[in-house]
Structure 1
Amino acid sequence: MKKWRKEILIHAPIEYVWPFFYGSLEKKKIIFPKVINEEFIHQTEQVVGSIIKQSYQIGSITEHYEITIRKYTNEQNYKKFQENFLLNNRFRMTIDYELESKNDTTTKFIYTSLNKPKNPLLSIFQLFGSDEVVQSFMERTKDSIEAAYKEEFQIDAL
């Protein structure tokens, strides 16, 4: 089992940042460019327990994942979305996207990923894993959301 946890500040209000993680496929594609479609297979009133079929494009291959929403919080200054899915039929992924409002123009984004292999032998390969992919995702997310925010509100500098 491998766990990553990273934090980064995004210079945009929490209500602007939230739809990039939950609710807007158009915005989600900005930070997850390989996601091509999402549709609810099962939707609960409280969101937790809902299942989303997500289509993901890798080169010429389209993969489909069933994502189960395990946690969901949508408060004024704190938002959290936890998803769980099976990656390539090899790893049980649990990912938390947390947003905390620091002030009217800054949001702390906390990413936590827990990768649990179905086959214990795959745990050995995780020992050599680095956080480069996670760090790159965090920086790309920050840059993409801040650029979209600047463009939408015609802000010169944050």
Structure 2
Amino acid sequence: MKEWMKEIEINASIDQVWKLLDGALEDMQKIMPQVLDHQAVKVTKEGVGSIYRQKYKEGKRIEEYDVETLEYVNTPANKKLKVGFTLAKMFEITALYELSAINEQKTLFTYTCTNKPLKGFLKLFLFFASDKIVVQFCERVKKVAEEEYENTKVLVK
């Protein structure tokens, strides 16, 4: 299993960032444009155990898989969402999104991703995998959240 972790400060409120991770499909697509669909299969009151069926476009292929909520915390100062899914019967993947309010306009975003190969030949592939995608994802979340936060400040004035 391989794990990557990236932490980044975002100049936006914690709720603005959280909306991108735990919101509607349209919000999610702003930071994950390859997600084509995100439908609830089972939703629990506490969040943990909820399952969503996602469709994801990789090149010309469309993968469909169930995403299970493994951890869920939603308080004003701290938010956490951990999901897990199996991709193409080849990898077990978890994604952990953690948000901490630094102040009302600044959020600390920590993204941790694990990837466990389910077939022996994939272990070598993972051995050489870099954190490039994790870094790009964090930068995209920062860019989108900050742009949207600036736009909401302009509308309020």
TM-score in terms of structure 2 length: 0.93
Runs of 5+ consecutive residues of structure 2 not aligned to the other structure? none
Distance in 2, Cα, partners of 1:141 & 1:20: 8
2:31 is matched with: 31
Q: How many residues align?
A: 155
1:63 is matched with: 63
1:21 is matched with: 21
- SS for the counterpart of 1:141 is helix
Percentage of identical aligned residues: 37
2:76 is matched with: 76
What are the within-5 Å matches in structure 2 for residues 86-125 of structure 1? 86-125=86-125
Distance in 2, Cα, partners of 1:124 & 1:36: 30
Output the aligned Cα RMSD: 1.3
Distance in 1, Cα, partners of 2:52 & 2:77: 25
Moved over 4 A (4+): none
Runs of 5+ consecutive residues of structure 1 not aligned to the other structure? none
Counterpart amino acid of residue 101 in structure 1: A
Structure 1 residue 66, shift from structure 2 partner? 0.3
Structure 1 residue 35, shift from structure 2 partner? 1.1
Counterpart amino acid of residue 142 in structure 1: K
Distance in 2, Cα, partners of 1:153 & 1:5: 31
TM-score in terms of structure 1 length: 0.93
Counterpart amino acid of residue 122 in structure 1: L
Structure 1 residue 13, shift from structure 2 partner? 0.6
